[in-house]
Chains A and B, each alone.
Chain A
């Protein structure tokens, strides 16, 4: 009745939920559950991300999800995502191939403070899929290797079949002047390397705590133990960077899903300095 009087009008003002069209250029199977997607933004503009930032990726009809940008910020309108198939959207994505279209918005969040890391010794500690966002930073560092001190990468995964970026790891180890140590959770007949949790690599490391920064990304359970081990090495909280995962529905600081106390991880994070969140309840 009164709707006759006041017509509904749609304004084309900038909705923050509007995404940009992007094209899949290549799909590489990394493991049974993870694939790497090389993506090109259709309008040829660069994504303009910093390592550690994420985008909201969507396929109409299948939903939207936060996905970290896995490539370093140097590739024009191209970037890479590594996605594990776990649900609606991510399974649908795994069914896409070259030339298929996806929608993206972002980048969002605060990434790693690359400038603060320059000239430091870097200790990367990744658990499982945590290597995905970390890879953006590792590659940024390797692109300018001489600006950094020694670089270690400690990487823990469930089993040898789940190692991500195998070829790259080999190549980084060979040419990148970086000490890589990989461990699997449980013994495996084909695995000749180290077995056990990733923290076991930390005590024997020779670390100059005055010039080391640690970058830690992994599942929630990993953080507590890694932080304790880093404490034993006397690395200060402000030299430890973590990326926290939370459920995210908007990436805009509105939907409330990523909230930890008064912090919205999609806004103030996902990358945090440990010293800023050490006493934040429910963070770690």
Chain B
């Protein structure tokens, strides 16, 4: 592992340098509770124009940096309608103004794959793990050009952190990121140690700031910090991470689902804030001129009532209990089977955001207790 020392000023000039080549996104200063921008006083990600806008030693952000790789709303296609070949026919249902003529001469559809050079600065280990999972999802099978192009043009500068009362990354083995970043920063008090993740990261670091080789004494401070971090968790799952898929598979009929289903609002906030939730809806929208429009995707949430409803009206997950069970199982069993690796990275966001305090750690511990009680 290669570590370079840089002073606090050195970090600032690194950011200033990156700003010349990249759009830089990072956790920005804490916004007061109740403010429109920062929900509940959590730090949040934003675009920064100068290093002092960054809030580097932040507690977990409200939304994760997935928003810069998989935006909440993203155009997939743009289209232009040609002159209709059939006479205007008003629709009985649906939009009354628009002729549904699938376009006559000159109808055009063009793909939109938007990407630009961006740097995500100050990403926590859990979110680095989450991005690696998203990478897998969008790359397997038919590659998703929109995500992958953005990803390709993204550099990630991670930073170590300490848990708040809901963080439980230690329980799901994401407390440390071994890879998945270009540079990873460790605060050692007197300055930062930059862990080099990629050649590209190294080049950028050397290009934009002054560093020197870290001393052994400085490097040992990382271990001290890690130890302190490991001892700071107040929230943890009472079982080995590797046993969780089996636990969930055996807990399908647990009464827990009904219990939390009764209090859940089905609001889908837990999906939106989760760094590994990637489900989306695809919709069309026409401009006011009704000849141009776009197809776009938006974040969707499996906790919402219609998520699994089909045309005949049949809903494959009618109740909130079923939908919660689906989401929890996606984190600990289903996606693990499909893609490998737990899909909960222990960031605690879904816990912090839930209006009725449904807590994925408590639920999991309850399932563990239940399964221990089983003969």
A170 at the interface (CB under 8 A from B): no
Contact B141 A267 (CB under 8 A): yes
Contact B279 A256 (CB under 8 A): yes
Contacts of A281 in B (CB 8 A): 252
Interface size class of B (residues with CB under 8 A): 35 or more
Contact A11 B113 (CB under 8 A): yes
Contacts of A1 in B (CB 8 A): 49
B72 at the interface (CB under 8 A from A): no
Closest B-chain residue to A15, C-beta based? B111
Contact A60 B109 (CB under 8 A): yes
B100 at the interface (CB under 8 A from A): yes
Q: A249-B282, A282-B316 are in contact. Are A96 and B86 (CB under 8 A)?
A: yes
Contact B79 A60 (CB under 8 A): yes
Instruction: Tell me the smallest distance from the CB of B163 to a CB of chain A, in Å.
Output: 29
**When chains A and B are docked, how far (Å) is the Cα of A9 from the Cα of B149?**
11
Q: A91-B91, A101-B102, A101-B103 are in contact. Are A61 and B278 (CB under 8 A)?
A: no
B21 at the interface (CB under 8 A from A): yes
Contact B24 A61 (CB under 8 A): no
Instruction: Tell me the smallest distance from the CB of B221 to a CB of chain A, in Å.
Output: 34
Q: A96-B101, A262-B333 are in contact. Are A16 and B279 (CB under 8 A)?
A: no
**When chains A and B are docked, how far (Å) is the Cα of A246 from the Cα of B312?**
11
Task: Say which one of A18-26, A159-167, A173-181 lies at the interface with B.
Answer: A18-26
Contacts of A12 in B (CB 8 A): 111, 113
Contact A8 B94 (CB under 8 A): no
Contact of A259 among B24, B107, B334 (CB under 8 A): B334
Contact of A252 among B24, B141, B252, B307 (CB under 8 A): B141
**Cβ < 8 Å to A, chain B residues 106-127:** 107, 109-118
Q: How many residues of A contact B (CB 8 A)?
A: 66
Contact A102 B102 (CB under 8 A): yes
Per DSSP, chain A at the interface is loop
A219 at the interface (CB under 8 A from B): yes
Contact B316 A61 (CB under 8 A): no
Contacts of A7 in B (CB 8 A): 116
Q: A15-B76, A249-B282, A259-B334 are in contact. Are A60 and B103 (CB under 8 A)?
A: yes
**Cβ < 8 Å to B, chain A residues 198-255:** 219-221, 245-247, 249-250, 252-255
Most B CB within 10 A of own CB, among A1, A256, A281: A256
Q: A6-B117, A100-B85, A253-B140 are in contact. Are A17 and B77 (CB under 8 A)?
A: yes
Contact A16 B142 (CB under 8 A): yes
B98 at the interface (CB under 8 A from A): yes
Contacts of A253 in B (CB 8 A): 140-142
Contacts of A16 in B (CB 8 A): 142-145
**When chains A and B are docked, how far (Å) is the Cα of A15 from the Cα of B142?**
10
**Cβ < 8 Å to B, chain A residues 1-57:** 1-3, 5-19, 21, 24
A97 at the interface (CB under 8 A from B): yes
Closest B-chain residue to A11, C-beta based? B113
Contact of B100 among A9, A59, A87 (CB under 8 A): A59
